[in-house]
Amino acid sequence: MADEAGRRAGTDERMACALACAVLLAGAAAAITHAAPAPQAPRPGAQVEDPAVTAREGGAENNPASDEMTDALILGIDRGLEFLALQQNADGSFGRGLYGRHVGISALCGIAFMADGNVPGRGRYGEQVARTLEFVLANQTDAGLLSAETTHGPMYGHGFAALFLGEVYGMTPGDRRIHDALVRAVDLIVGTQNEEGGWRYNPIIADADISVTITQIMALRSARNAGIKVPVETIDRAVRYVRECQNPDGGFRYMRQPGSSAWPRTAAGVASLYYAGIYDDDSIRAGLDWLIERAMPGRNSQSPTHYFYGQYYAVQAMYLAGGTYWSAWWPAIRDELLARQSSSGSWHDHYASGAYSTAMGLIVLQMPKRYLPIFQK
């Protein structure tokens, strides 16, 4: 019982720090948020009230929704982090079997721990983050590609790993090894952008798809936030590519070529525009409304294919939108994920490893902690 009380006290202390950071970021807006009634969820097919005002006021990073954190959420996060820590391999990597020693999955696991406020060598899971960092740094090629031996479609993993390095460097600046590795990773992304403005599975200038493109855009945004130079023209070309993947119904297709809209790629498309620095835009609003109408957790049936991938980007899109979008989406996905958590504290995905799905679930559920620089706009 004493250990449990101590663990809970540590959790309370971390949450108090997170809330304090949110208040400092929000300033006077925090007081207004607490005084205002909770917004109502949008009706199916309906646009939120005055979305232009929502865009001007900014996302949820400065405007927390009411009752974002609950006791059940804190407990679920703690159980998930404990499970994830046990999945780390001796070399610092995460993943088993087909997805063993996977740089991308390992990076996502590191980000999940960092979303709790841990950094290399500091915090309850600081050692896990430090070991993940060493694994990622040890698996960069001379060309700058972040990839381990078993990686399939290495640009996916490269994007997540570069994002991890950007977040580590942003939270603990001054480490020359991280700086140099991040610069090489960014240079590779810039140098492999294709003529359409996007990226695909391999680090060559060929075709592109929106699922790989979002990983590179997020990595570039994180690096830029950390002080690494990113060419403006690279971002401009990426924005053009993403816009060309949007369908008239507001959803996004997989590639520029004609195709159907789907909720995971729509979430990725909206998040891409936000991370490229577009905040008030008809394309974003159309995509957000498509997600509200077709993919609201707890209301719409969602294919298990790419479930965690889709929720990872959808919650970021709604968080960056803020306002009624966030206040409607957040409790719905929070409760849905907690209901899906297994007795071991993990989440499972049929298409990847338990480490991957658990990391994704934890990143989603820890959005309100607001520790990661990438979520602070």
CATH of the domain at 139: 1.50.10.20
* pLDDT band per the 50, 70, 90 thresholds, residue 29: very low
- Separation of alpha carbons 368 and 327, rounded Å: 11
pLDDT at 28 > cutoff 50: no
pLDDT at 21 > cutoff 60: no
Mean pLDDT of the chain: 86
Average pLDDT over residues 152-167: 95
Helix spans in 36-125 (H): 51-57, 71-86, 103-114
Give the pLDDT of residue 270: 98
1 vs 88, which has greater pLDDT? 88
- Decide: residue 306, CB within 10 A, 0-12 exposed, 13-18 middle, 19+ buried: buried
* pLDDT band per the 50, 70, 90 thresholds, residue 283: very high
Q: Would you give the distance in Å from CA 65 to the centre of its chain?
A: 19
pLDDT at 32 > cutoff 60: no
pLDDT at 102 > cutoff 70: yes
pLDDT at 96 > cutoff 90: no
Give the pLDDT of residue 151: 64
pLDDT tens sequence across 221-265:
999 999 999 999 999 999 999 999 999 999 999 999 999 999 999
Instruction: Show the tokens assigned to 298.
Output: 């707890």
pLDDT at 134 > cutoff 60: yes
Q: With a threshold of 0.75, does the pTM exceed it?
A: yes
Least confident span in 103-117, 150-164, 294-308: 294-308
Average pLDDT over residues 300-309: 82
- Angle (CA) 69-71-77 rounded to 5° is 75
Q: How many CA atoms lie within 13 A of 231 on its CB side?
A: 12
98 vs 335, which has greater pLDDT? 335
pLDDT tens sequence across 171-225:
999 999 999 999 999 999 999 999 999 999 999 999 999 999 999 999 999 999 9
pLDDT tens sequence across 354-377:
999 999 999 999 999 999 999 986
Average pLDDT over residues 17-35: 32
Local structure of 342: helix, strand or coil? coil
Report helix, strand and coil shares of the chain as percent, to nearest 5: 60, 0, 40
* pLDDT band per the 50, 70, 90 thresholds, residue 61: confident
pLDDT at 18 > cutoff 50: no
Average pLDDT over residues 66-90: 96
Q: How far apart are the first and last CA of the chain?
A: 40
Q: Are 62 and 24 in contact (CB under 8 A)?
A: no
| Domains held by the chain: number | 1
Give the pLDDT of residue 101: 87
- Decide: residue 344, CB within 10 A, 0-12 exposed, 13-18 middle, 19+ buried: middle
Give the pLDDT of residue 351: 65
Domain that residue 140 falls in: 2-376
Give the pLDDT of residue 15: 40
Strand-pairing partners, residue 119, are: 122
